[in-house]
Structure 1
């Protein structure tokens, strides 16, 4: 569900017409709905009311400071994967005890920063990382709380680029090496193992892979008990999908019920790390038609939004629904919606049936709130887009559009 809807043929973001926003702030433009963020977080978090739990929003999905502040105000913790995301989470007012640090390649400086902040725990992904964290914690006179990311070898049946829980993936430790890691952690003077972690992938449209992974984790926990290791936190990651096209992902309530049934008698705090399911449908990207072009074999709609603004179609061949900001009732044509970048891979949609549009009109890419702006770049020296948050009839400029001066500010 989201709060982008048509009224008399005009698309509104909550109480403001999208074309009005584009007139004022220009395009390409990211527009987020505060009401949708709130609704999605509440729906997800409340689905686990039957468990002792913590919902740690996955910052990489959408790391805008205003978004993080909004979610933090609702009690969200944060799942981070870099020192920059730690910095953002702390700036947004998130309590360090609600921050979990994931990722396969934490640098020494990033580890020091997280120890100084006294975050809840590191999700450790290799034995070498464990040793590095211990060494740094000893130097700093601290004890690092850790969990290990266990790779359960479960096929999440998603895009191979966003599958993370199989043997061939770079993430986590297999079961055998995980046991060795916990055994070693107990020996290390500056390490306290308090959790188990598992994240099998993103954009999952079925509960079954989660449950298969959970069964393996619960069996693994019995082995840890036999080693005298008590686990306080079970981090099940995120990955619940959203509807881009015709997907039918489970509702968070069904997801929560399934997990609660398995975990209700377990004396652990469950950590969830939703990202896309919170942010995805809370945002759109608005783009303006620059030109239309017809060749003997193809019709093109050339827009000012490009792969540097929304890379998912080019990177994953992902589908984003595209529609008019103002409905005109024209006949549909088979078109490619493409951007100005000098790459054949610069497209937002290919072979898509869309109403024919005219120069100066606006198109909207839906479900762009997650992995949209956060994956954007300055390729072709293009300035990154403006981000807005609409809350009823109020607009917050969450990020101003970059200037040409911004492009070269750090170049000497």
Structure 2
């Protein structure tokens, strides 16, 4: 059991807490699910990019799915081998492409013909051959939040089937492009299996059509997006997920790449914040805490639900908004949530905060970002110290 009160006394609040043992179990469950075929579990660094988190997964054998050159650098620094690193993202600068090619990572995932042309030109300038995959948009509705839906033509990600074919033919005939993989990712927080299987069937059929014209790929990248429990969701079991995908690959000799992020770390994290006081406006109850939307943005950005508990507190519950000090009406963690009476100093824990929590945090309102603490084998360690005011202004220059 995690002693939230002891952690608050030691590290202050707001605070992020991660269970590395749970992260290990999540990784091992997914790796086992794909054990019947060559596979690579490639952690989506954007979910939680703390170096200790990435390093922990690297030691387990994970690769890294990166969407910026900064994430590529993080992955390498954390010990992820270069041959397990994928560089994705819909908009890559020339210098980012050049650096990724210099670092000789596994592949660059392309999202447009224009990007292919830039990669080819840069590879030609360097006199090398760039390993690439193409992100195919299968036009499948993932049935998730529209902000994290990526598999429809109305989304900015990937290319349609016919465009993908053109890219592969051009790349296969290029002296500076080596098409080694294919990729799709229809969205995040997926809780229904049918859209995933349908997308996999469409992309697998494309692989077969490419094979018929002598374009042989090595990697079948199914993206990530496996959902977790925030409230009462019915989630997809790793075995069922793997079997649905593998059932579409008959006759194909491909290494399956899976890019989980939220699945790995989401339920392994908590956000701890302290009650400042309560107020009531004409019957409307507010619990004001020291954490804010700059620390945990998901409720404000997505209207996302997180389970919330008052630590070691019981009593008659009544609806309350849990809000922070940031000067925005959107600064809340929950609205009309039944909670017991609180007093200044009480602790509130926000569950399922390991993914897209600290990673999306900011310094809005000149607020320092929280510390992060990891638990592993019953022992705790600080993996990021709390920022100071001096940290926030260190790069600024004042004109006098």
Same fold (TM over 0.5): yes
Instruction: Determine whether 1:189 maps to 2:175.
Output: yes
SS at match of 1:329: coil
2 CA distance for matches of 1:47 and 1:331?
A: 44
Give how far 1:186 is off: 1.8
Q: Secondary structure at the match of 1:185?
A: helix
Partner deviation per Cα, 1:162-215 (whole Å, 9 max, x = no partner): 000101000000011111111111232210001110000000001111100011
- Measure how far apart 1:265 and its partner are: 4.4
Q: How far apart, CA to CA, are the structure 2 residues paired with 1:356 and 1:118? A: 57
Query: Which of 100, 110, 120 is matched with 1:134 structurally?
Result: 120
Partner of 2:55: 69
What's 2:376 paired with? 391
What corresponds to 1:307 in structure 2? 293
- The match for 1:370 is 355
Q: Please name the residue that 1:231 is paired with.
A: 217
1:263 shift after superposition = 2.9
Deviation at 1:53, TM superposition (A): 0.5
CA distance in 2, matches of 1:142, 1:384: 42
Provide the residue aligned with 2:233 in structure 1: 247
Q: Which residue of 1 is the match for residue 15 of structure 2?
A: 29
SS at match of 1:380: coil
Q: Report SS of the residue matched to 1:263.
A: coil
SS of residue paired to 1:287: strand
TM-fit CA distance, 1:226: 2.4
C-alpha distance in structure 1 between counterparts of 2:172 and 2:251, whole Å: 26
Distance 1:329 1:56 in 2: 42
Q: 149, 153, 156: which is aligned to 1:163?
A: 149
Q: Distance in 1 between matches of 2:124 and 2:297?
A: 42
Query: Stretches of 4+ moved more than 6 A in 1?
Result: none
Q: What is the deviation of 1:266? A: 2.2
Task: Structure 2 unaligned segments of length 5 or more: list them.
Answer: none
Residue 264 and residue 31 in structure 1: after superposition, are their counterparts in 2 closer, same or farther (change >3 A)?
farther
The equivalent position to 1:122 in structure 2, one of 108, 114, 121, is 108
C-alpha offsets along residues 60-80 of structure 1, whole Å, 9 cap, x if unaligned?
Answer: 000000000100000000000
CA distance in 2, matches of 1:264, 1:229: 17
Question: Which residue of structure 1 lines up, in the alignment, with residue 139 of structure 2?
Answer: 153
RMSD across aligned C-alpha pairs, in angstroms?
A: 1.0
Q: CA deviation at 1:249?
A: 1.0
Shift in Å at residue 409 of structure 1?
Answer: 0.7
Provide the C-alpha distance between the structure 2 equivalents of 1:163 and 1:393, rounded to a whole number of angstroms.
Answer: 37
Structure 1 unaligned segments of length 5 or more: list them: 1-11
Residue 349 (str. 1) matches residue 334 (str. 2): yes
State whether structure 2 residue 211 is matched by structure 1 residue 221: no
Contact 1:51 1:263 in 2 (8 A): no
Instruction: Give the aligned partner of residue 71 of structure 2.
Output: 85
CA deviation string 1:223-281 (max 9, x = no partner): 21222100110000000100101111111122122223333642000000000001100
Q: Confirm or deny: 8 A CA contact 2:221 2:258 kept in the other structure.
A: yes
Distance 1:104 1:217 in 2: 19
Find the counterpart in structure 2 of residue 338 from structure 1: 323
Q: What's the CA shift for 1:330?
A: 1.1
Deviation (angstroms), 1:45: 1.2
On the 8 A contact 2:373/2:380 being kept in 1, the answer is yes
